[in-house]
Structure 1
Amino acid sequence: MDDEQGISDRGPARAAPRDSLFLLTNLCTSDGAPLGKARIRNLSATGLMADCEGAVAVGARIALDLRGVGRVSGRVVWSRENKIGVAFDEAIDPQLARKPVASDASQRMSDYLRLHQPPTWRR
């Protein structure tokens, strides 16, 4: 495989190792106009790959919220049909997106379920 073929098949060279995962988020332009939902498939310190509801043009400035990380902004560096590659404006810690949102099971459970649990029966 020649170098041109490799770049066209997988996008530009990546600057950081990526981690496969599945996160849902909403994309918007840098000025807040909604671009639809996205499923993040790969995440690294410097960017991501996502499946989007609709096509997003190369060069578009976007923003999104990443669980555990917060608001992230970047630029679409490649786009094929409804898949995009984004280069972040600033590096992130991708492991934060994998950490649990709450510290224990009772905090992850909604108030309704926590308050209405069935009694524990003793034998």
Structure 2
Amino acid sequence: MTDERDISDRGPARTAPRDSLFLLTTLSTPDGVPLGKARIRNLSATGLMADCERAVPAGAQIVCELRGIGLVAGTVAWSRGDKIGLSFDEPIDPQLARKPVGAKSSQQAMPDYLRMHQPGLPRR
């Protein structure tokens, strides 16, 4: 059985391996004009695919913030309805987006009211 999906439904061929994930971000122009929120579906060193709140045209210059990475600039390589493919201006390390942000020790992550009343510890 062959896959008869129309190849035109996909963006240009990708050169970098990509990870599937689910991250939220906000898109804007380089001038700071907001373009809405987006759900990143997959991420690679050279780009991403996202579902956007509204259509963003191919060729648009975009800036978004990626957790663990920071601000990333790129160009919309393709756009189909509310989905876009973004090609980054500079490669990133996509694994940084998967690392927990602000990881703390279990003692620091525990709420104060629990940390102050642990068995065996003197009460204040």
- The TM-score with structure 1 as length reference comes to 0.84
Q: Which residue of 2 aligns with 1:83?
A: 83
Report the Cα offset of residue 50 of structure 1: 0.4
Distance in 1 (CA, whole Å) between partners of 2:82 and 2:68 is: 25
Structure 2 counterpart of 1:116, from 105, 113, 117: 113
Report the Cα offset of residue 23 of structure 1: 0.5
Q: Which residue of 2 aligns with 1:13?
A: 13
CA displacement, residues 31-53 of structure 1 (integer Å, 9 cap, x when unaligned): 11000111100000000000111
Contact 1:106 1:114 in 2 (8 A): no
Report the Cα offset of residue 89 of structure 1: 0.3
Larger Rg: 2
Contact 1:101 1:108 in 2 (8 A): no
Q: Unmatched 5+ residue regions in structure 2? A: none
Distance in 2 (CA, whole Å) between partners of 1:107 and 1:32 is: 39
Q: Unmatched 5+ residue regions in structure 1? A: none
- Asked if residue 38 in structure 1 is aligned to residue 38 in structure 2, the reply is yes
CA displacement, residues 7-47 of structure 1 (integer Å, 9 cap, x when unaligned): x1211000101100000110001111000111100000000
Greater share of residues in helix: 1
CA RMSD between the two structures: 2.0
Query: CA separation of 1:102/1:58 partners in 2, compared to 1, >3 Å: closer, same or farther?
Result: same
